[in-house]
Every structure is written in C-alpha cells, then in structure tokens.
C-alpha cells in the first residue's frame, strides 16, 4: 500500500510539473467574448472559470449583453461560432486500466442574438469519450465510443416588462438554468458534483444535469428569478426521446444577494420514467414505472477572487414493478471553494456525498477533489487553460459482507478554444 501511495504521489508531482509548463484547457466560448468586445475575463473569473456578474447576465439574456441588444451587422460567424478541443491523461489506483491517454472531445458552440427578441444557443459534439475502451454498448453511447451528440439547443424569446425586468421563454433541448449557474456549467472542476451528474436509481437515467426536450418560462428581475418548465423527461440514450406520455415538470426560485453574483435558490423536479416489455416501444406492456421527485437547496457566495458554492438534495422514488411498489428516499450534497491567485493560476477543493437510499447504510458515495487551474494564454480570438485534479472516492460496501471500494485518481486535462 505504501508503495502504491508513493507511486501515486510521484505521478501527481510529475503531471503537475507537466501541466504548469506545457498544458492547455479552455472551456469558455471565445465567440461570446468577441460579441461583447472582450476576452474570457469579461464573463469568467479566470482561471477557475466560474461565471462573474457579466457572465451570469450574458447567459440569462440569451447569450447577449442585454436582453434586447441586437445589431444586424454583428451577425457574423466570428461572433457566433467557436470550437473546443479537450484531451486528458489520468492515472487511477484500484482500477484497470490504471493509466490512459484520452482524446476526450471535440465540440462546436454557436449562439447569440437573432433579432431584438429572439436568440439561440447550440452545443454539439462531433466526438466524445469518457473512459470507453471498446465499441460495445455503453449507456449513452449506443455502441459507438466516439459518440456524436447534440448536447443542448434552444431558441429563446425575451419579453420586456419594464426597466431591466423581462420574461424569457426557451424551447428545444434545455438544461434548467439554475442547475447550470450553481455548478453544472462553467466550473473549476471538470467532473460535475455527484448530486448533479449521477442517477440515484440504476433503472432511471434522470439526474438534475439531464438535458431534456421541452420548454421553460423564466421571470428575470433584479433580485428575483423564477422558472417553470415542462419537458419530455430523461431517456436511456443520448438525444433519444422519453417514450412515455408523461411530461416532467420543474420549478426554480432564486434570490440574488449582491452585485457579484451571490445567490440562494430552490429547485424542484417531478417526473416519471417507464420501461416496456419491448425496449423503447410504448405500445408494448410497461414493466417498470418510477415516479420520482427531487428538491435542491442551492447557495453561492461570489467575490472577485473566490467563490463558495454548495447544494443539498433530497429525493423520493416510487417504483412499480409487476404491481409491487417500493419506495426509496435519497439525499446528497456538495461544498466547493475555489480561489484565483491571479489570472493564470487558481486552486479548488470540493467534497461530495451521495446516498441513493437513505434506508440502506451500504450505499453512500463520498468524494474529495482538489486541484489547480491555469491559463497559458488568452485573447479575444482564442484561449488555453489547463486543469489538474486529484480525487479520493469511497463507495461504502454493498452489504455487510462486502468491502468498501476506494479509488484514487489524478487527472490532467488539456483544452483550447478558438
């Protein structure tokens, strides 16, 4: 064990040195910076990447500086189109293969104002791979390790109400904006928090980060934001449509606390997921229904150089299988702090806990992640950012006779954007 720990720490130091001197990672969208005549720092606190006040405004306005800002002569590809490349190298203790190089993704981002009232946003992946080592069927990949996907795509309409207040309507493949701005979107840590990005029921693919097809309506006021949405719900594969007739609902309420972007929020989701005797065929008999709900309390405190973000989730799932009903309750939380020493170097730490069944003491996942962010260069045409993460993950034993699973991982990510 001591030998493994020494080897793990030696690799950490080696990759850290490599990252500091040669590694890129950027996940801002340079086209959006060009739209407002600036670089990444206009919307992001670099290099830990959280959205600042202008970035939060830009997002809710429909990827523009003001809700009705529009100039027809500014519609040109340089302001509406960006490309992002990501590569990774990682080493994992207690897992095989232990070390890998991974061409993670190549993606296209496009968005901005179409008229005074209409705007759009699209995120597309021409290739993405997260630890897939073969072409056999993997959840969400459909048997293709280099999957293509339309991650998010929506049209937005803004209706002014007077002053800076307006109502925004989005339609398409959408992610609840509150989930985006409290840690699932622009972030210091590449892997999203467990409560956002891990399903609490192995038979139900829903997680709060799920992008679904539908629409939502959001009231944007200076100190209050309120959202209601109706969507198809989660599906078993990327870009698939949920096959049941039920529409999932969500609602969010957010209070803005200061000019830096500090806020508190409450988010609720109610859904139903169904599987059938013939997969994805709603004309065949249903064999599994999962009626579920999630409630999240979210908070963030943002300053010029640092932020503290946290969320607590509680949920309930009622499973109906062959007329037998079971009910499980789940919970989870995370707390994150990141700090920017300068534009080119920042640090972060996050602790996650996820318990998919509160009545089962053998089901918890605990995760500690720490690391560094840095910028190699930045201007309005392009940016390069690197990310180094060390994580320690513990999954409690599945039963009294099983042992706890422990995984230590170091990940370096190399990314640039134009």
Per-residue pLDDT for 137 more than 60? no
Share of the chain above pLDDT 70, in %: 88
Across the range 34-55, mean pLDDT stands at 83
Where is average pLDDT lowest: 36-50, 168-182, 216-230, 312-326?
A: 36-50
48/377 Cα distance (integer angstroms): 14
Q: CA 406, 410, 414: angle at the middle one, nearest 5?
A: 150
**Residue 241's domain spans which residues?**
2-417
162/410 Cα distance (integer angstroms): 50
Residues 168, 158 contacting (CB under 8 angstroms): yes
Closest CA to 66 of 21, 110, 116: 116
- Whether this model's pTM surpasses 0.85: yes
pLDDT in tens, 79-117: 999 999 999 999 998 777 778 888 889 999 999 999 999
Give 125's pLDDT tier (boundaries 50, 70, 90).
very high
pLDDT in tens, 309-325: 999 999 999 988 766 78
Q: In this predicted structure, what is the pLDDT of residue 3?
A: 52
| Number of structural domains in the chain | 1
Q: Which residue has the higher pLDDT, 216 or 44?
A: 216
Residue ranges of E strands in 79-164: 81-93, 99-113, 118-128, 149-162
Closest CA to 189 of 9, 418, 409, 417: 409
Q: In this predicted structure, what is the pLDDT of residue 365?
A: 94
Tokens of 398: 């599945």
205/237 Cα distance (integer angstroms): 9
Phi, psi angle pair for 302, to nearest 5°: -120, 130
Q: Which residue has the higher pLDDT, 331 or 28?
A: 331
Share of the chain above pLDDT 90, in %: 54
Scan for tokens 């069927």, then name that residue.
137
Which CATH number do you get for residue 25?
A: 2.40.160.10
């Amino acid at each position: 064990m001591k030998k493994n720990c020494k080897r793990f720490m030696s690799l950490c130091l080696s990759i850290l040195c490599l990252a500091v001197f040669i590694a890129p990672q950027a996940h801002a969208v340079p086209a959006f910076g060009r739209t407002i005549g600036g670089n990444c720092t206009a919307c992001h606190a670099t290099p830990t990447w959280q959205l600042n006040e202008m970035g939060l405004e830009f997002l809710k306005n429909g990827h523009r500086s003001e809700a009705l800002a529009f100039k027809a002569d500014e519609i040109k590809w340089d302001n509406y189109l960006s490309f992002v490349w990501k590569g990774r190298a990682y080493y994992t203790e207690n897992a095989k293969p232990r070390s890998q190089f991974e061409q993670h993704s190549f993606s296209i981002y496009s968005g901005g104002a179409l008229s005074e009232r209409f705007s759009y946003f699209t995120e597309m992946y021409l290739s993405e791979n997260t630890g897939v080592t073969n072409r056999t069927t993997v959840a969400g990949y459909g048997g293709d390790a280099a999957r293509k996907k339309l991650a998010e795509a929506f049209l937005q309409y803004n209706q002014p109400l007077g002053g800076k207040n307006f109502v925004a309507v989005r339609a398409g493949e959408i992610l609840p904006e509150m989930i985006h701005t409290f840690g699932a979107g622009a972030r210091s840590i590449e892997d999203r928090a467990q409560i956002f990005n891990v399903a609490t029921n192995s038979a139900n693919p829903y997680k709060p980060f799920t992008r679904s097809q539908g629409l939502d309506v959001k009231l944007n006021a200076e100190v209050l934001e309120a959202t209601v949405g109706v969507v198809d719900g989660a599906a078993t594969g990327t870009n698939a449509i949920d096959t049941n007739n039920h529409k999932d609902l969500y609602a969010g309420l957010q209070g803005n606390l200061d000019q830096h972007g500090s806020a508190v929020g409450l988010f609720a989701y109610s859904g139903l997921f169904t599987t059938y005797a013939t997969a994805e065929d709603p004309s065949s008999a249903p064999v599994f229904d999962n009626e579920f709900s999630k409630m999240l309390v979210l908070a963030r405190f943002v300053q010029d150089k640092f932020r503290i973000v946290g969320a607590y989730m509680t949920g309930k799932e009622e499973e109906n299988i062959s007329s037998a009903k079971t009910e499980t309750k789940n919970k989870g939380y995370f707390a994150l702090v990141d700090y920017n020493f300068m534009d080119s170097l920042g640090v972060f730490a996050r602790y996650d806990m996820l318990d998919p069944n509160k009545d089962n003491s053998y089901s918890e996942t605990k995760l500690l992640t720490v690391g560094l962010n840095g910028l190699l260069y930045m201007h309005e045409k392009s940016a390069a950012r690197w990310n180094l993460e060390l994580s320690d993950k513990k999954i409690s034993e599945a039963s009294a006779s099983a042992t706890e699973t422990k995984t230590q991982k170091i990940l370096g990510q190399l990314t640039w954007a134009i």
